[in-house]
């Protein structure tokens, strides 16, 4: 079932020990890590496009959640507009959570993750690459879908660019935080609930700032402050999360 990919063959040769030898010692470690990351990213994107149906699932879930609220609350657009920031962001958060379960699953199953860990390449860089691929496949489409959901909740078109920006930046951090949870729960059977328990508290700041940015956008007010905070969180996450995820993966593979 494990599909071949050119990117996989082009990775640095697998070491059986951690001692660098003449053949496996990297010529320029930094450039090598970047190259490995680039290849891992391409591999993930290629593999994902072979299972397009799996890509749609988080988006369909997001649409479904958005549908639930009018039915549960009221069809009145004015009321829905008030709820819209919350609905959009809770939906995005849950959809992201759903998607992140698949971040490492296939690679852990077919041994690719182990290869990554043993390859001698920077596991942190590989983690970042995988998370970036994950965001490109879920968070970014979610950000493009958010305007549709927002319109269905009575939000005016002028607010849409702000909403796309907020969800796009916020979902980066959500993917990063999710990668840590996914790495920690590797190999735990039926870890869905535990993964949510681990990831959701850590994602609360994104929820808070994202919803605020969306709220400001809907009211036509400048949303710089929360957007900048979202961006700051994304930067912080980019520096720290892949490191934590790499550590967690090594621990899980022991």
- Contacting other proteins (CB under 8 A), which of 25, 194, 221, 235? 194
Distance CA 195, CA 189 (A): 11
Do residues 90 and 1 lie in contact, with contact meaning Cβ atoms separated by under 8 Å?
no
64 binds other proteins (CB under 8 A): no
- Contacting other proteins (CB under 8 A), which of 46, 205, 231, 238? 205
- Contacting other proteins (CB under 8 A), which of 188, 220, 228, 235? 188
Distance CA 207, CA 221 (A): 19
- Contacting other proteins (CB under 8 A), which of 59, 200, 231, 238? 200
198 binds other proteins (CB under 8 A): yes
- Contacting other proteins (CB under 8 A), which of 100, 112, 209, 234? 209
Distance CA 151, CA 168 (A): 17
Place of tokens 């450039």: 31
CB of 26 to other proteins, least distance (A): 26
Stretch that binds other proteins, among 18-26, 51-59, 156-164, 202-210 (CB under 8 A): 202-210
**What's the sign of the alpha-carbon dihedral 54, 59, 63, 65?**
positive
Q: Which is nearer to other proteins, 12 or 232 (CB)?
A: 232
191 binds other proteins (CB under 8 A): yes
**Residue 112 burial (10 A CB sphere; 0-12, 13-18, 19+):** buried
DSSP code, position 135: I
235 binds other proteins (CB under 8 A): no
| Half-sphere exposure of residue 13: CA atoms within 13 angstroms, side-chain side | 11
233 binds other proteins (CB under 8 A): yes
Total residues at the site for other proteins (CB under 8 A)? 25
- The angle subtended at Cα 124 by Cα 118 and Cα 126, nearest 5°, is 70
- Contacting other proteins (CB under 8 A), which of 43, 130, 134, 212? 212
Q: Which is nearer to other proteins, 61 or 209 (CB)?
A: 209
Distance CA 146, CA 248 (A): 32
Q: Return residues touching other proteins (CB under 8 A).
A: 180, 184-185, 188, 191, 194, 197-198, 200-202, 204-205, 208-209, 212, 229, 233, 240, 244, 247-248, 251-252, 254
């Amino acid at each position: 079932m494990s599909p071949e990919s050119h990117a996989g063959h082009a990775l640095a040769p697998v070491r059986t020990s951690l001692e660098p030898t003449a053949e496996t010692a990297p010529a320029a470690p930094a450039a090598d890590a970047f190259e490995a990351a680039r290849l891992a990213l391409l591999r993930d994107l290629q593999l994902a496009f072979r299972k397009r149906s799996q890509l749609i699932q988080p988006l369909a879930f997001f649409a479904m959640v958005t549908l639930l609220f009018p039915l549960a609350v009221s069809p009145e657009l004015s009321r829905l507009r008030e709820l819209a920031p919350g609905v959009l962001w809770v939906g995005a958060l849950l959809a992201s959570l759903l998607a992140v379960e698949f971040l490492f699953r296939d690679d852990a199953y077919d041994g690719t993750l182990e290869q990554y860990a043993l390859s001698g390449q920077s596991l942190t860089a590989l983690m970042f690459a995988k998370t970036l691929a994950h965001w490109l496949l879920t968070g970014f489409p979610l950000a493009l879908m958010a305007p549709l959901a927002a319109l269905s909740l009575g939000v005016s078109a002028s607010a849409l660019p702000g909403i796309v920006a907020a969800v796009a930046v916020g979902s980066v951090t959500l993917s990063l935080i999710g990668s840590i949870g996914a790495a920690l729960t590797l190999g735990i059977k039926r870890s869905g609930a535990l993964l949510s328990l681990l990831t959701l508290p850590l994602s609360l700041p994104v929820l808070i700032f994202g919803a605020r940015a969306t709220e400001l956008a809907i009211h036509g007010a400048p949303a710089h402050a929360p957007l900048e905070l979202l961006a700051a969180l994304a930067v912080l996450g980019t520096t720290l999360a892949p490191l934590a995820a790499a550590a967690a993966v090594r621990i899980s593979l022991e």
